[in-house]
Amino acid sequence: MHVIDTQELVKSYGPVKALKGLNLQIPKGCLYGLLGPNGAGKTTTLRILCTLLAPDSGKVLIAGINALQDPRSVRKEIGYVAQEVAIDKILSGRELLQLQADLYHLNNLEKEDRINKLIARLQMSEWIDRRCGTYSGGMKRKLDLAAGLIHKPKVLILDEPTVGLDIESRSSIWQLIKELRDQGTTILISSHYLEEIEFLSDRMAIIDDGRVIAEGSPEHLKQELGGDRVTLKVREFSSQDESEKVKQLVQSVEGVRQVVVNKSQGYSLNLVIEKEEVLNRLRNKVLEAEYQVFTLTQSRPSLDDVYLQATGRTLMDAELAVSTQRDLKKESKQSMR
Ligand SMILES: Nc1ncnc2c1ncn2[C@@H]1O[C@H](COP(=O)(O)OP(=O)(O)OP(=O)(O)O)[C@@H](O)[C@H]1O
Ligand SMILES: [Mg+2]
């Protein structure tokens, strides 16, 4: 049975179409990763699943319950750790957890026991009685996580739980997430860190522009692509024209598949080769045409290749595009003033 089952979710914010028919099926006990660039619709999806936001259309079943008709029952099953939380600055972390426990109607005994266990597990005892206003980013994330776990939810939904954390805090949160999965919790985690999704997920979906564009286990997604990845840069690359010329040249080499021009950080070509020995043929061809090879690197397919294959751009390019758009909007607002 699927613990989370959404069908054809559509959601707009005014003119912005955030979700354009999103389908997601998550099996029981699965640690499921949602990977996508800024603005892909991750938070919107998660907020709908947690019943904090209603879709314009589509279906949502959580543990077999229709979330749109019976949000209260769904909330009992779900723990949600939001991407950005406004934590009260005056309360201590412990007081905040106590409030959270009251929201879920835990009795006093249960409440203290649960809070103490979470404090110990997340190593929060040194600072949990300090005011939240004094916490670092990592401390706040841990507190958020503890708050989401207070009622032992069957389904845990985490929106970018490790963003901005140092490596140590990140890996301790990763470990906890895996432990919870091993104990039977179904977990959905969103991230735009490839390595996070790759390390954690049993299954994953790549979402882009409001839709799921690839789905499966990370291994399966990479295998499907087949072949080794090669990045080629020649010294003469300076324009789109030049890169198109080299592209055509490279395409004519036997055993080369899928050549894509990559524009980030100057021009380079991303290509897929069938076998190792194609690399030599490729190098010779480029040299014969009197281009100087600047870099030629080879690697096994990565999740970024999966993303590139599905969308025609790398995850980094997609993020750059969104931040450029934001900057342009800011500039035009400023110039209107
Ligand atoms: N309250 C809102 N009002 C207007 N537009 C919104 C609102 N919330 C989200 N959007 C827009 O909807 C789209 C999807 O946003 P969403 O927050 O779901 O993306 P995301 O994948 O979580 O991105 P990020 O990685 O930056 O957190 C974006 O274009 C965003 O600008
Ligand atoms: Mg988000």
How many percent of the chain have pLDDT more than 90?
59
What pLDDT sits at residue 335?
59
Query: Are residues 21 and 156 located together in one domain of the fold?
Result: yes
CA–CA distance, 67 with 87 (Å, rounded to integer) = 27
Q: What is the dihedral of CA 164, 153, 177, 170, to 10 degrees?
A: 20
Determine phi and psi for 97, rounding to 5 degrees.
-65, -35
| Pick from 296, 254, 256: nearest CA to 272 | 256
Give the pairing of strands 228-234 and 256-262. unpaired
How many other C-beta atoms lie within 10 A of the C-beta of residue 147?
23
Q: Whose CA is nearest to atom 28 of ligand 1?
A: 39
Query: Are residues 145 and 104 located together in one domain of the fold?
Result: yes
Structure tokens at 86: 């406004």
What's the pTM value of the predicted model, to 2 decimals?
0.81
Residue 80 belongs to what domain range? 2-217
Query: Are residues 209 and 244 located together in one domain of the fold?
Result: no
Query: Are residues 49 and 181 located together in one domain of the fold?
Result: yes
pLDDT tens-place string over residues 123-134: 999 999 999 999
**Ligand 1 atom at minimal distance to the Cα of residue 44:** 18
Ligand 1 contact via 302 beta carbon (within 6 Å): no
Ligand nearest to the CA of 41: 1
The answer on pLDDT for 184 being more than 90 is: yes
The answer on pLDDT for 88 being more than 60 is: yes
* Average pLDDT score over residue span 97-124: 93
pLDDT tens-place string over residues 196-229: 999 999 999 999 999 999 999 999 998 887 788 8
- Look over the chain and give the mean of its residue pLDDT values, rounded to a whole number: 90
Query: Are residues 135 and 189 located together in one domain of the fold?
Result: yes
Quote the ligand 1 centre to 210 CA distance (angstroms): 10
| Pick from 124, 79, 129: nearest CA to 104 | 79
